[in-house]
Every structure is written in C-alpha cells, then in structure tokens.
Amino acid sequence: MKTGDIMNDLEFLKEEIKNKLDNYRYLHVISVYEECAKLADIFKLSKNQKHDLLISALLHDITKGYDKHGQIALAKELGITLKKDNLLSPKTLHAVTGEAYAKKYYPDLVKSNICRYIRYHTTGRANMSLGEKLLYLADYIEPTRKFDDCIQVRERFYGALSKGKSSFWSLDDAILFSLDLTLKQLIEENAVIHPDTVKSRNYLLRTIDYSSK
Ligand SMILES: [Fe+2]
Ligand SMILES: [Fe+2]
C-alpha cells in the first residue's frame, strides 16, 4: 500500500497496529510515536526524516506479541534465520522478526533505513544513525513508561537539554546512561547480554565528548 501522502501513510499504519496489537501495546506504540514527533522537532529533522522515524515508531513492536516459540515459528514463516545471540536474549527477537515483518507486509512504506531503526531499537549497536538513536530513546522514555530506569533516562535527557547542553550530546549521554542501566538490570537478572548492547555502549563511551558538555 502506497498512498504517497504522508498523513495517509501514518493513519493507515495506525489502523493496522490497532487491529494487530493488544491495547496495552497499542498505547505504548502511540506514545513512542508521539515522543518521536517531539524528538523530530527538537532535532530539526526534515519532513522526510520525520516521516521515516514516525513509520518506524508505529512498526517497531509489530511482532512483540509473540512469545519465544511464536517468534521462532514467525521467523520460519518470514524466511529468516535467527542468530544464536538473539535466541539467547529472547527480548531481542521481536526486533529481528519485526524488521522482516515490516519489510514483507509494508514494502512500499519501509525503506532500508527504517528497517535498521526497527532492527536496533532494543539493543542499539555501534555507530548508530540519528534515526536509530531517536527510536531507541523514544522507546525507552515515552511517558507511559513508569519504570524507575525509564524515569531516570527521561529526566537525564530533558534535564540536559534544559541546562543548555546540545541536543546531540544530550542524546548520546542519555543513551549511554540507559545502556548502563540495562546492563546492570541484565546482570541482576542473570540474563545473557546481547553483544550489540555492549558494542553500543562501548562505542558511545569512546566517542562522547565529556570535556565540552
Ligand atoms: Fe520493542
Ligand atoms: Fe517498544
């Protein structure tokens, strides 16, 4: 389906996810969408960049409703092979199947950059693009998230902005902080850590400039 009209594309996808997701997940996705719209304005994205980010927001959890066995069956159906790293960190599976699902069912709307936003929204990765970072952050801090970690990251990001730090610095700082919290949580749960989470953290730690914050 391709209308070529930005509002129609987004309204069409909103209807799609309303039919496919349970209410709790639907409200989370709409909240990520609204957070992405806010971030797109803060980061002065072009109309097309904002459109891509909003499409990725609507589709990022499209397969989240499947449990591990469901994810494996869905991957088979979509013709993709799940890597061991993802199978060992089951919370990352929906990002992999979500990318493939979005590509298969909405090929006219989902370009390769949008695929990557969806693919890395859970783990991050080394050298993330701006769109990848914005979806990752929006997913973590959207206002319906009430977990302590989410509140802390939200306050860290908006707190840095309100102190006059640059938006790009604030984004990297908040993501790095969120990755540290995620890693601590995974260690506490005795859970396997996906290598991309570590790579994402190490990359930001090496590149963020704390001297000019
Ligand atoms: Fe997700
Ligand atoms: Fe999400």
d(CA 122, CA 140): 9
- The span from the CA of 210 to the CA of 30, in Å, is 34
pTM of the full predicted structure? Answer: 0.96
Q: CA 40 to CA 196: how far, in whole Å?
A: 25
Q: What's the pLDDT tens digit per position in 10-52?
A: 999 999 999 999 999 999 999 999 999 999 999 999 999 999 9
- What's the confidence (pLDDT) of residue 210? 87
Shortest-distance ligand to the CA of residue 144: 2
If you measure from the C-alpha of residue 208 to the centroid of ligand 1, how many angstroms do you get, rounded to a whole number?
25
Question: What token pair was written down for 65?
Answer: 């409703």
Q: How far is the CA of 117 from the centre of ligand 2 (A)?
A: 12
Taking phi first (over 0 means left), then psi (-120 to 50 degrees means alpha), and beta for anything else, what does residue 200 get? Answer: alpha
Ligand nearest to the CA of 28: 2
Architecture of domain 6-207: Orthogonal Bundle (1.10)
Per-residue pLDDT at 4: 60
At residue 211 the predicted structure's pLDDT band, cuts being 50, 70 and 90, is confident
The three-state secondary structure class of 122 is: coil
All residues at 6 or more sequence positions from 30 whose CB lies less than 8 Å from its CB, including other chains: 14
- C-beta of residue 36 within 8 angstroms of C-beta of residue 130: no
Tell how far the Cα of 93 is from the centroid of ligand 2, in angstroms. 13
